[in-house]
Amino acid sequence: MNTSSHFRLGTRGSPLALWQARRVQALLADKCPDAAVEIVVIHTTGDKILDKPLVQLGGKGVFTKEIEHALLAEEIDFAVHSFKDLPTRLPDRLAIVSVPERDSPFDALLAREGRCLKELPAHPVIATGSLRRRAQVLAARPDASVVDLRGNVNTRLRKYHESNWDAMIMAEAGLRRMGWTDQIAGILPLDEMLPAPAQGALAIEARLADERTQTLLRAIHDEAVAAGAWAERSFLTTLEGGCQVPIAAYAEMENGCLILHGLVSSLDGTRRVRESESAGLDHPEETGRRLAERIWELGGNAIIEELKSTNQSR
């Protein structure tokens, strides 16, 4: 049994995941100095298998399954995830109970020439492991060749520097957290690259019945950040989009209102539906649902059903 002031924080073992865990540990030390938070590293399937695309491994759950098993077995008290890496449905008895401050949601371009996609040379080779980024790259640069890329931040940077690729796209938050801002050629604007739902946000997962841990984690919860992330996630969940469908969403806050932008695209970027929805902060999940339903009716359904049919026939 734990003492009342000792908590075990579960995390993946990658450098970025450890940074995120230590960030949460530091936030809790500031808000709850009497609580002792121990970091417990758990190695996941997604960290062990790096030579296959994420889609082939079964989607985002490969980064969370082992951690959630540890939570359910009460081997850890809570877990810290990149919110965007979480599957849209969590196991019974578990929930996201805290969403702390958010880092940049945007995507960054690493390039040998130019500071944006349009400045890259003709027929550029661009690396990314994300179907969402691939689709938006091809929409902006139909002449590009996109190379699939897996691995943590350090691994991807090493592969990029050892390659002859013209550019690589990664989350700005990950590069900043690891101290690699000098690698960034430019930040991709929203009209060119809409982020992944909840990109740059952290999600803290715990057992629903563990009120002791939830009380601790409320101290670092940010309601406005959570509203935006939940709107984006609701958009994704309503469309039932996982890693096999290019789906993007980002919620902006403006004068107390939430403005949610959403996108569904074909893999090659030639067919896409992008719309926005404005609402208050009170019911972010409903805002996400409304926007998803509108995009579905405007042609998103045809894109998603076609992609699902293609994936099932493989």
DSSP tag of 121: P
AA identity, residue 67:
I
Spacing of C-alpha 76 from chain mean position: 23
Rounded-to-integer distance, Cα 22 and Cα 241, Å: 31
Q: With beta carbons less than 8 A apart as the criterion, state whether 175 and 200 touch.
A: no
Q: State the burial class of residue 141 (Cβ atoms within 10 Å of its Cβ: 0-12, 13-18, 19+).
A: buried
Report, in this order, helix, strand and coil percent for the chain, each rounded to 5: 40, 25, 35
Active site residue 282: no
36-41 and 6-11 strand pairing: parallel
Other beta carbons less than 10 A from residue 254's beta carbon: 8
In order of 51, 52, 116, the CA distances from 55 in angstroms are 12, 8, 27
AA identity, residue 50:
L
Catalytic residue among 34, 51, 85, 210: 85
Question: What are the catalytic residues?
Answer: 85
